[in-house]
Structure 1
Amino acid sequence: MEERRVLNTFRALETSDGAGVRLKRALGHNPSVRLDPFLMLDAFSSDNPDDYLAGFPAHPHRGFETVTYLIEGHMRHRDHLGNEGDLKQGGVQWMTAGRGIIHEEMPQQQDGLLRGFQLWINLPAAEKMKAAGYRDIADREIPRLDLGGGGQIKAIAGEVEIAGERLVAPVTGGSTEPLYLDVTLRPGESVAIPVTAGHNALLYVFEGDLSVAGEPVADQHTATLTDGERVTLLGGNGGARVLVLAGKPIKEPVAQYGPFVMNTQEQLDQALRDYRNGTLTDPS
Structure 2
Amino acid sequence: MSTAAISLLTRPRQVERLVAGQPTRDGAGVKLDRVLTQDLQRRLDPFLMLDAFGTDNADDYIAGFPDHPHRGFETITYMLAGRMRHRDSAGHEGLISDGGVQWMTAGRGVIHSETPEQTEGRMAGFQLWLNLPARDKMREPWYRDIASGEVPEFEREGVTVRVIAGQSHGVAGAVQREGTEPLYLDVHLPPGARFEQALPAAHNAFVHVYEGALVHDSGCRQTAGRMAILANTPGSDGVRLQAAQDLDGPTRALLIAGQPLGEPIAQYGPFVMNTQAELVQAVRDFQAGRLA
Question: The TM-score by the shorter chain falls in which range?
Answer: over 0.9
Partners of 1:13 and 1:62 in 2: CA distance: 24
Q: Which runs of 4+ in 1 moved over 2 A?
A: 29-34
Partners of 1:232 and 1:113 in 2: CA distance: 31
RMSD value over aligned CA atoms? 1.4
* Range with greater deviation from structure 2 (61-70 or 203-212): 203-212
2:121 counterpart (112, 125, 138): 112
1:178 counterpart (168, 182, 206): 182
- TM-score normalised by the chain length of structure 2: 0.91
What stretches of structure 2 of length at least 5 have no aligned partner?
A: 1-9
Partners of 1:147 and 1:50 in 2: CA distance: 39
The question of 1:88 aligning with 2:92 is answered no
Q: 1:70 maps to which residue?
A: 79
Q: Over residues 23-54 of structure 1, what are the superposed CA-to-partner deviations in whole Å (9 max), with x where a residue is unaligned?
A: 01110154567510000000000111100010
What letter corresponds to residue 209 of structure 2 in structure 1? V
SS of the equivalent of 2:212 reads: strand
Partners of 1:30 and 1:233 in 2: CA distance: 26
SS of the equivalent of 1:8 reads: strand
The question of 1:127 aligning with 2:131 is answered no
What stretches of structure 1 of length at least 5 have no aligned partner?
A: none
2:207 counterpart (200, 203, 206): 203
The question of 1:153 aligning with 2:158 is answered no
- TM-score normalised by the chain length of structure 1: 0.94
Q: 2:285 maps to which residue?
A: 274
The question of 1:229 aligning with 2:237 is answered yes
1:74 and 1:110 in contact (8 A); partners too? no
Partners of 1:209 and 1:13 in 2: CA distance: 19
Q: 1:190 maps to which residue?
A: 194
Partners of 2:146 and 2:95 in 1: CA distance: 11
CA, structure 1 residues 32+141, in 2 after alignment: closer, same or farther (shift >3 Å)?
closer
What letter corresponds to residue 99 of structure 1 in structure 2? R
1:42 counterpart (51, 56, 60): 51
Overall identity of the aligned pairs, in % = 50
Q: 1:4 maps to which residue?
A: 13
CA, structure 1 residues 173+81, in 2 after alignment: closer, same or farther (shift >3 Å)?
closer
What letter corresponds to residue 87 of structure 2 in structure 1? R
Q: Over residues 82-115 of structure 1, what are the superposed CA-to-partner deviations in whole Å (9 max), with x where a residue is unaligned?
A: 2211112111011000000110000122751111
- Number of aligned residue pairs: give it: 276
